[in-house]
A and B are shown apart, each in its own frame.
Chain A
Amino acid sequence: MPEITYREAVRDALGTALRRDEDVFVMGEDIAEMGGSMGVTQGLLDEFGPERVRNTPISEMAIVGAGIGAAMAGMRPVVEIMYEDFLTLSLEQIVNQAAKHRYMSGGQLKIPLTIRTQGGAGWSPGAQHAQQLEAWLVHVPGLKVVYPSTPEDVRGLLWSAIYDDNPVIVFEHRLLYPVRGEVAEELEPIPIGKSRVLREGNDVTVIATGPLVHHALKAAAEAEADGISVEVVDPRTLQPLDEEGLVASVKKTNRAVIAHEAVTRMGFGAEVAAVLQYQAFDWLDAPIERVGSKFAPLAFAPVMEQFVVPQVEDVLAAIRRTVGK
């Protein structure tokens, strides 16, 4: 099995879809000659030309909205919003338009639109270039939200997003782009709405997203040295949520830690905790732990940024608390 980076995996899914399907095109800011601010779309312009790898003005509302219109007209556009922070500019189009056209039309329309974006801390960009806003979007009926953490998952889930008949937001993480992982020779679609167990264990389940999946795997290895057996589960899709998969793991281990980089307060983890306590109440041997960013914007100074954002040690400490070790 070849090993590729997360960045190459995204590019592979886009390139394969563009190659196979005339209805797919990609557009966003600086994605053509520059290859995207994260280098994800490098080379696509040369292969597919400027009509299908389309540079846009700095117009986040129109980028998403034009994607909606092209999707309504029967195409499968993939639009890129350079940073999650800029997603806030296009929220009207995402929340009021993309998410609701099918519903308001009584089922007459479908919006097969994919919105890729990325964010994430760990490189001191300050408060407006690294937020994690996935919780805003999982709250909106009509949207699907995926947040893959590995090359294999991002390739397969992005593919499924492109071929889903609903608007799907794909969250990528800046620090994951260079992460390498094995993928199958041929692109394999990964169904939206299925979690994945990355490591099996018996004492506690860590449900983690994005970079926290990798933190959780490191924390699990450290915990093992102390005789704590940790299971790591990545929901991969945040909406719809694979409740069954998460609950099954917690019923097995009887303890749960939920970890994401986004601010803990009112975060995605709060909903997961609510699901777990309701569906696995009698199985729980300890309070559900949550790990996330402290309740502050992201500071510029590296020491402050690192203090706010959850680290491997934070996940490990939460694991220890649940098992009392």
Chain B
Amino acid sequence: MAKVEKKRALGEETLREFLREMLLIRRFEERVEERFRAGELPGFLHVAIGQEATAVGVCQAMEEGDIFASTHRAHGHTLARGTHPNNVMAELYGKIEGCSHGYGGSMHLYDVERGNYGANAVIGGGLPAVTGAGLAFRLRDEPRVAVAFFGDGTTNIGTFHESLNLAQLWRTKTVFVCENNHWAESTPGWQHSPVWDDMSKRALAYDMRARKVDGQDVEAVYEAALDALEYAREGRGPVFLDVRTYRMHGHYIGDPQVYRSKEDREDAAEHDPIPRLRERLGLSDDEFQALDEEAVGVVDAATEFAKNGTDPQPEDALKNVYA
């Protein structure tokens, strides 16, 4: 079976590459937090610290030509899909070199060349479009898949239900990735959904193929994503992944998390996907530190690049309103 072969192909070198990616995202977002607190970054920012294995597992399983829609927590997806850290950081600094040329910001990262059709700051805002793109891929008989990232909180909004229904009804080439971190901003899963601990039930209600995945195990995420993408690519229908993950930090940078117990935060920290992968690879302290320093170096360079980027002219604000 192709699936097993691909999983077997996930050798140590590939896993090391995944760790490199996850570390890059972690150090990148830690730097973003630091620079925001230093007052260097404008706007409203959200990090996905703790959720790196989901981003890397899914994005590495995607193929060229595949597209995705992200959320307000988009740094990881964007980096994992290959947008250069320089361009992501430059966007956060509002520079022309940014991946959205300063028009988007943290919540609206785009990189169309690499399939990033936009991070959305409206919960569920991107799901209908991913369904429609998946329809277009089917109508044109293209071997491409459209992927939607969203959180557990999204499963309560109308666009989610309309999109899942439409996708299954029309067998669009779409994969729905629910990053189930059990928090909708400050509201815990048990307060917002009767099926908060098993979101795959939502998909089953639409007769959609669904799978529960350990989102802290990058191998498991990769394997499940590969399987889902393959299924959708072949035109057999959309797939829903309920990826159980942990948000180690607040909803936004600066969130004091008054709503969250110490135990819950400790529990999240214990599920950090990075030490888990490090252990899986059996890396020594020196080996790990070398990878870590490499990531920090990339982030240092990205920060320098961004700070030295070009400010848009104020009147550039009137461009790009229409094609």
B residues in contact with A142, CB < 8 Å: 321-322
Give, as a whole number of angstroms, the nearest-CB distance from A138 to chain B.
Answer: 14
Q: Taking the complex as formed, is B189 at the interface, i.e. its CB lies under 8 A from any CB of chain A? A: no
What separation, in Å, do the CA atoms of A109 and B101 have in the docked complex? 13
- Shortest A24–chain B CB gap in Å is 11
Residues of A within 8 A of B163 (CB): 62, 65-66
Q: How many residues in A have their beta carbons less than 8 Å from beta carbons of B? A: 41
Cβ of A141 within 8 Å of any chain B Cβ, yes or no, is yes
B162: interface (CB < 8 Å): yes
A57 pairs with B103, CB closer than 8 A = no
- Contact (Cβ within 8 A) B166 A59: yes
Partner pick for B166 among A62, A104, A106, CB 8 A cutoff: A62
Cβ of B100 under 8 Å from chain A: yes
A61 to B162, CA, bound (A): 7
Most buried by B among A65, A93, A97: A65
User: Does A56 sit within 8 A of B, measured CB to CB?
Assistant: yes
Chain A residues with CB under 8 A of B101 = 106-107
Looking at A69, A103, A107, A142, the one whose CB has the most chain B CB atoms below 10 A away is: A69
**Per-position contact with B for A15-40: 1 when CB-CB < 8 Å, else 0?**
00000000001000000000000000
Tell me the A71-111 residues at the B interface (CB within 8 Å).
Answer: 71-75, 77, 92-93, 96-97, 101-111
Bound Cα distance A222, B164 (Å)? 56
What's the least CB distance linking A18 to chain B, in Å? Answer: 13
In the assembled complex, the Cα of A93 lies from the Cα of B131 at a distance in Å of: 13
Report the minimum CB–CB distance from B118 to chain A (whole Å).
Answer: 6
CB neighbours (8 Å) of A71 from chain B are: 132
B136 pairs with A92, CB closer than 8 A: no
B19 at the interface (CB under 8 A from A): no
Assess the A66–B129 pair: CB atoms within 8 A.
Answer: yes
| Given A65-B159, A73-B67, A92-B122; A165-B128 close (CB under 8 Å) | no
Whether the pair A102, B320 counts as a contact (CB closer than 8 A) is yes
Task: Tell me, yes or no, whether B137 is within 8 Å of chain A by CB.
Answer: yes
Instruction: Report the minimal beta-carbon distance from A268 to chain B, rounded to whole angstroms.
Output: 19
Name the residue in A104, A109, A142 with the highest tally of chain B Cβ atoms < 10 Å from its Cβ.
Answer: A104
The stretch of B40-48, B104-112, B269-277, B279-287 in contact with A is B104-112
| B136/A69 in contact, CB under 8 A | yes
* Inter-chain CB contacts under 8 Å: number: 143
Residue contact B169 to A68, C-beta cutoff 8 Å? no
Residues of A with C-beta under 8 A to B321: 102-103, 141-142
Q: How close is B100's CB to chain A, nearest CB, in angstroms?
A: 5
B127, B166, B320, B322: the one contacting A56 at CB < 8 Å is B166
Q: Say yes or no: A105 contacts B128, CB within 8 Å.
A: no
What's the least CB distance linking B13 to chain A, in Å? 33
In contact, B110 and A69 (Cβ under 8 angstroms) = no
A73 touches B110 (CB 8 A): no
- Chain A residues whose CB sits within 8 angstroms of the CB of B127 once the complex forms: 65
Q: B residues within 8 A CB of A110?
A: 323
CA distance A106 to B99 in the complex (A): 8
User: Given B98, B112, B132, which contacts A68 in the complex, CB threshold below 8 Å?
Assistant: B132
Question: Quick check: B132 and A70 within 8 Å, CB to CB?
Answer: yes
Closest residue to A144 on the B side, CB-wise?
Answer: B322
- A57 near B169 (CB under 8 angstroms)? yes
Question: Closest B-chain residue to A65, C-beta based?
Answer: B128
Is B166 touching A57 in the complex (CB atoms < 8 A)?
yes
Q: Report the Cα distance A70→B132, complex, angstroms.
A: 5
Q: A221–B140 Cα gap in the complex (Å)? A: 53
Quick check: B118 and A102 within 8 Å, CB to CB? no
* Other-chain residue from A67, A93, A165 in contact with B323 (beta carbon distance below 8 A): A165
Do residues B320 and A69 form an inter-chain contact, with CB atoms below 8 A? Answer: no
Q: Which residues of A contact B85 (CB under 8 A)?
A: none
**In the assembled complex, B139 has its CB within 8 A of some CB on chain A:** yes
Q: Does B8 contact A (CB under 8 A)?
A: no
- Whether A72 pairs with B129 at a CB distance below 8 angstroms is yes
**Chain A residue, CB-CB nearest to B111:** A108
State whether the Cβ of A51 lies closer than 8 Å to any Cβ in chain B: yes
The one of A56, A61, A105, A111 in contact with B110, judged by C-beta atoms closer than 8 angstroms, is: A105
Q: Cα distance A108–B136 when bound, in Å?
A: 19
A:127-149 near B, CB below 8 Å: 141-142, 144
Q: Specify the chain B residue showing the minimal Cβ separation from A93.
A: B128
Among residues of A, the one whose C-beta sits closest to the C-beta of B164 is A62
Cβ–Cβ < 8 Å partners of A144 in chain B: 322
Contact B132 A67 (CB under 8 A): yes
Contacts of A73 in B (CB 8 A): 67, 132-133, 136-137, 140, 146
In the complex, whether A237 has a CB less than 8 A from a CB of chain B is: no
CB distance from A226 to the nearest CB of B (A): 44
Cβ contact of A105, chosen from B100, B129, B162, cutoff 8 A:
B100
B86 shortest CB reach to chain A, Å: 16
Taking a contact as CB atoms under 8 Å apart, the answer to whether B128 and A69 are in contact is yes
Most B Cβ at <10 Å: residue of A71, A93, A103, A112 = A103
Q: Within the complex, which residue of B100, B131, B137 is in contact with A62, where a contact is CB–CB below 8 Å?
A: B131
Other than the known A110-B323, A141-B321, what 11 A-B pairs have Cβ atoms closer than 8 Å?
A: A57-B166, A67-B132, A69-B133, A70-B133, A70-B136, A71-B132, A72-B132, A73-B67, A73-B136, A74-B136, A102-B322
Chain A interface (Cβ < 8 Å from any Cβ of B)? 25, 51, 56-57, 59, 61-62, 64-75, 77, 92-93, 96-97, 101-112, 141-142, 144, 165-166
Q: Can you give 5 A-B contacts (C-beta < 8 A)?
A: A62-B166, A92-B159, A96-B122, A109-B112, A166-B323
Please provide the 8 A-B residue pairs with the shortest distance between their CB atoms, ordered closest to farther: A65-B128, A69-B132, A106-B101, A66-B132, A69-B129, A62-B162, A73-B136, A165-B323
